[in-house]
Amino acid sequence: MVFRRAIAPEKQVVQAWVQQHFSHFWASEVEVAFSRQPVALWVAQEGQQLLGFACYDCTAKAFFGPTGVLEAARGRGIGKILLVKALESLREQGYVYGIIGGVGPADYYAKAVDARLIPGSDTHHVYQNLLRG
Where do contacts with ligand COA occur on this chain (CB under 6 A)?
A: 65-69, 74-80, 103-105, 107-108, 111-112
**Min CB(20)–ligand COA separation in Å:** 13
Instruction: Give the angle 94-15-4 at the CA atoms, nearest 5°.
Output: 50
Q: Which residue, 4 or 8, is less far from ligand COA as judged by CB?
A: 4
**Min CB(4)–ligand COA separation in Å:** 16
Q: Which residue, 58 or 69, is less far from ligand COA as judged by CB?
A: 69
Contact indicator for 76, 68 with CB cutoff of 8 Å: no
Q: Which residue is nearest to ligand COA (CB)?
A: 79
**Min CB(15)–ligand COA separation in Å:** 16
Which residues have CB under 8 Å from 27's CB, separation 6+?
15, 16, 18, 19
